[in-house]
Structures are given as structure tokens and as C-alpha cells.
Amino acid sequence: MDFGLSEEHLMIRDAARDFAKQELLPGVVERDNKQEFPTEQVKKMGELGFLGMMVDPKYGGGGMDTLSYAIVVEELSKVDASCSVIVSVNNSLVCYGIEAYGNEAQKQKYLTKLVTGESIGAFCLSEPEAGSDATSQKTTAIDMGDHYILNGTKNWITNGNSADYYLVIAQTDKEKGHRGINAFIVEKTWDGFEVGPKEDKLGIRGSDTHTLNFNDVKVPKENRIGEDGFGFKFAMKTLSGGRIGIAAQALGIAGGAYEMARDYSKIRKSFGTEICNHQGVAFKLADMHNEIEAARYLVYKSAWDKDNGHNYDMSSAMAKLKASKVAMEVSVEAVQIHGGNGFVKEYHVERMMRDAKITQIYEGTSEIQKIVISRGLLRD
Ligand code: CAA
């Protein structure tokens, strides 16, 4: 076993770390306050190659491994989890979904733009009544021969307004259950597509989360991904990789909150000494660090599984379950160590605590991850 990062991984980590400090940190509090999408920052991340990291260079991607991607998401998330979710969705749900399961024409038309940030992608599975229970799709796509007619509503869609291309999951044949579900690439400019209200959220307030409405949207048949009826498996397979991204995001939020608490404890004094000299604080730091390291091993192992051709359905669920719990617990402790200052926006940790919560919800709640893990354990 080799627990060390390669020279290449260290370089990409340092590049993401520098970028986060120089480009994401300034303005992160204001963007959170105003719910402002980080347009300039996303443009720069596109230029740096952070939006299509794992895509084959022949489509303009970085050709990097999943571990490099997880490291970048982790580093960005230490500073700004709103930016990192945009990176995560674009890379591991949209780019990966099209590259792994789309046809050549779809890759040439869409992937080449998504990798540079010229266009942004969104992944549309959740509905008012189909969040965890993803087979209960109410959005319909009726087969009209050379095209489908799409009708329905999608909820809580990351990059909802900022995206140009949307991977939309819809029911084409109710009788067939999950085998009657398909996935389509839908363009924002198409007639009948409407971006609905923006959500006013607890956390990741810089990312734009919207309801989307599809009213008789005409989708050419060539925009279906894979064979007829592949849509549910497409969503499940793609989400397994997406969960590595969200696990890395959670890991980064935990790491960022821990580092802030550690540094603050070395300068803040009480009872005549820096607070890190009080065992009550030092032991908190020890526990936080320990949990983050444990989460990191699960996150990197899951990325390693994907890079080495192993099944990563279970390991990505394990990584997300653990890392999101750690993000929540560590960020709460980081606020506690900051005391009154922790409750104030300029000290960042209260934002991290708010941002941490979503990592236990999106791309499968913690309870869904337990379903995936337990089914994996009990499979014959
Ligand atoms: N890979 C391939 N196939 C898979 C699969 C996987 N990982 N998981 C399930 N399947 C297949 C099954 O084998 C089965 O196919 P067969 O009948 O041919 O064997 C079919 O899919 C149905 O599977 P299940 O019977 O297990 O389905 P289920 O109804 O019990 O649900 C579930 C399984 C794991 C709970 C699933 O519904 C799920 O993952 N739910 C959570 C959805 C989710 O993560 N939503 C997040 C929204 S996206 C988001 O948040 C993006 C964002 O913007 C940030």
C-alpha cells in the first residue's frame, strides 16, 4: 500500500490551494450574503481546467484521474463550497455522464464546451415527489418517432439558471418502471424550457439552485443517452461517481473549518494563555483531525477504486456518508472553538457549518447511502 501522493497530485493540490486562497477567498462572505453566483471564478476555473478534469484530452479535457479531481474539490471546498459544487456537478455528473455513456456526436457537440466552462451543465433527477425515491419519476418524455415531448418539473437543481445544458431524467414508459426511464441532453434555449424560482438556501448560497419546468419541450431523439430504457441505470452509475465529488467537498469543508479553528486557537487567549493550551480545546482539535484523516482515507480509496476499474458504488457511498458526517461535526466544533466570533460571518466557520449540511442531503441523503452500503453488504 502506498499512502503518499505523487508529485503530480501534490502539484495539482498546490495549484487548487493557491487558486482558492487568491481567487475564491476574496468576496466569499459577500457572495454568500447576496446569494451571488461566482461567474468570474467559474470562468477562471474553466481556464485552469478544473471543469473537465477527467475528460479525455481529445475532447479538450484534462485527462486526469479521479484522485486529482477529488483533491481539487477538497481544496476548493476548504474555502468556498458554493464554487466546489459547481465543479463537482459539472465534472462528475455532467461531463462524466456524457463521456461514459453518450455517443460520439453528443461528445463532440456538448462535452467539448462543458470541459472549458464555455458552457455549464446541470443534472436533473430530483422532483417534488422523487428525491430519494428516484424511480418515481413524474416527468414524462413521450416518444413521437424522431423526437420526444418532455413535460414535468425538476427541483433543487444545482446550476439551475447558470447551466446551458441539462441532463434530464424522465419516464418514457410508466408500465416498465425503472426500465422505462430515459436520460436526455436538453438545451436551455429550447422552446418550453423554463427556469423557475431560485431557492433561498441555508448554505452553498453562491451556487444557484432552481426549480425547472418543461412544457412540451421537443427533444430530438439523438439527444437521448444510451439505449431506450437506460436512463435510471445511467443516473445511478453517474451518481456513484458524483458521490466521490460530494464526499471530497465534505472533506474539504471539514478541513477548512478545522484549519481555521486550529489557527484561531493559537492566537485567541483566555485565562492568560492561548486557548489551544487548554485541554478542552486541544482535545477537540485532536478529535477533529482524527476524523478528517479517517474520512480522507475513504474518499481517496473510493477515487482509487474508480481509477483502478473496481466497483465504487459502495465505496463512494461509504465515503460520502462518513465525510458528510465529519463535515457537519467538525464545522460545529470549529464554531464552538471560535466562541462568539464563530457566530459572526467574517470568521467563516458559521458559513462552513451551514454549507456542511447539504453534503448529508444531495446526491443521495445519508440514509440513501446506508441503503446502498447495506444492500452491497447483503448481496449474495
Ligand atoms: N449502477 C447500476 N445499476 C444500478 C445501480 C448502480 N449503482 N443502482 C441500482 N441499479 C439498478 C438495479 O440493479 C436495478 O436494475 P435491475 O432491476 O435491472 O436489476 C435498478 O437499478 C433499480 O434498482 P433498485 O431496485 O435498487 O431501485 P430502488 O428504487 O430501490 O432505489 C436507490 C435505489 C439507491 C434508493 C436509488 O433510488 C437512489 O440512489 N436514490 C437517491 C437518488 C439521489 O441520489 N438523488 C440525488 C439527486 S441528484 C443531485 O443531488 C444532483 C445535484 O444537483 C447536486
pLDDT tens by residue, 291-307: 999 999 999 999 999 99
> For the chain, what's the residue count?
380
Q: Which of 236, 238, 369 to mutate to test the pocket of ligand 1 (most atoms within 8 A of CB)?
A: 236
Q: Mean pLDDT, to the nearest integer, of 24-47?
A: 97
Is the torsion defined by CA of 132, 135, 141, 142 positive or negative? negative
Please work out whether the CB of residue 132 comes within 6 Å of at least one atom of ligand 1: yes
Nearest CA to ligand 1 atom 21: 233
As a whole number of angstroms, the distance between CA 250 and CA 330 comes to 10
Distance from Cα 14 to the centre of ligand 1, integer Å:
35
Distance from Cα 98 to the centre of ligand 1, integer Å:
18
As a whole number of angstroms, the distance between CA 248 and CA 292 comes to 11
As a whole number of angstroms, the distance between CA 102 and CA 106 comes to 6
Please work out whether the CB of residue 260 comes within 6 Å of at least one atom of ligand 1: no
Please work out whether the CB of residue 166 comes within 6 Å of at least one atom of ligand 1: no
pLDDT number for residue 218: 98
Please work out whether the CB of residue 134 comes within 6 Å of at least one atom of ligand 1: yes
Nearest CA to ligand 1 atom 3: 233
Please work out whether the CB of residue 87 comes within 6 Å of at least one atom of ligand 1: no
Nearest CA to ligand 1 atom 10: 233
Please work out whether the CB of residue 371 comes within 6 Å of at least one atom of ligand 1: yes
Our measurement of the distance from residue 102's CA atom to the centroid of its chain's CA atoms, rounded to an integer in Å, reads 21
Contacts for 122 with CB less than 8 Å, ≥ 6 apart: 89, 94, 157, 158, 159, 160, 163, 165, 166, 167
pLDDT number for residue 106: 98
Distance from Cα 263 to the centre of ligand 1, integer Å:
42
Please work out whether the CB of residue 327 comes within 6 Å of at least one atom of ligand 1: no
* Secondary structure E strands in the chain: 121-124, 140-143, 147-158, 165-171, 181-187, 193-198, 209-220, 269-270, 273-274
Distance from Cα 134 to the centre of ligand 1, integer Å:
7
As a whole number of angstroms, the distance between CA 183 and CA 190 comes to 17
- One DSSP character per residue, 142-165 reads EE-SSEEEEEEEEEEEETTTT-SE
pLDDT number for residue 300: 98
Please work out whether the CB of residue 159 comes within 6 Å of at least one atom of ligand 1: no
Q: How far is CA 224 from CA 54, 120, 148, 219, 231, in A?
A: 23, 19, 9, 8, 9
Which pLDDT tens digit goes with each residue over 39-63? 999 999 999 999 999 999 999 999 9
pLDDT at 155 over 90: yes
Is the torsion defined by CA of 110, 115, 119, 125 positive or negative? positive
Please work out whether the CB of residue 169 comes within 6 Å of at least one atom of ligand 1: no
Q: Which of 233, 311, 373 to mutate to test the pocket of ligand 1 (most atoms within 8 A of CB)?
A: 233
pLDDT number for residue 287: 98
- Per the CB < 8 A criterion, the answer to whether 259 and 78 are in contact is yes
Which pLDDT tens digit goes with each residue over 235-293? 999 999 999 999 999 999 999 999 999 999 999 999 999 999 999 999 999 999 999 99
As a whole number of angstroms, the distance between CA 362 and CA 183 comes to 19
> What amino acid is encoded at 266 in this protein?
K
Q: How far is CA 74 from CA 44, 65, 78, 183, 255, in A?
A: 18, 15, 6, 29, 8
Question: What band does 1 get if pLDDT is binned at 50, 70 and 90?
Answer: confident
Q: How many CB atoms lie within 10 A of CB 220?
A: 12
Question: What band does 182 get if pLDDT is binned at 50, 70 and 90?
Answer: very high
- Per the CB < 8 A criterion, the answer to whether 255 and 352 are in contact is no
> What amino acid is encoded at 257 in this protein?
A
Please work out whether the CB of residue 181 comes within 6 Å of at least one atom of ligand 1: no
- Percent of the chain scoring above 70 in pLDDT: 100
| Whether pTM exceeds 0.75 | yes
Which pLDDT tens digit goes with each residue over 336-345? 999 999 999 9
Q: How far is CA 277 from CA 46, 188, 258, 291, in A?
A: 43, 56, 16, 21
Nearest CA to ligand 1 atom 29: 135
- Per the CB < 8 A criterion, the answer to whether 46 and 62 are in contact is no
- Percent of the chain scoring above 90 in pLDDT: 97
- One DSSP character per residue, 86-106 reads HHHIIIIIIIHHHHHHS-HHH
As a whole number of angstroms, the distance between CA 221 and CA 130 comes to 24
Q: Which three cell numbers stand for residue 127?
A: 422532483
Distance from Cα 231 to the centre of ligand 1, integer Å:
10
- From the CA of 93, give the closest atom in ligand 1: 51
Question: What band does 2 get if pLDDT is binned at 50, 70 and 90?
Answer: confident
Q: Mean pLDDT, to the nearest integer, of 62-86?
A: 98
Distance from Cα 369 to the centre of ligand 1, integer Å:
10
Please work out whether the CB of residue 79 comes within 6 Å of at least one atom of ligand 1: no
Is the torsion defined by CA of 26, 118, 105, 227 positive or negative? positive
Nearest CA to ligand 1 atom 48: 363
Q: How far is CA 225 from CA 3, 179, 237, 243, 368, in A?
A: 38, 14, 13, 21, 25
Residues marked active site are found at 363
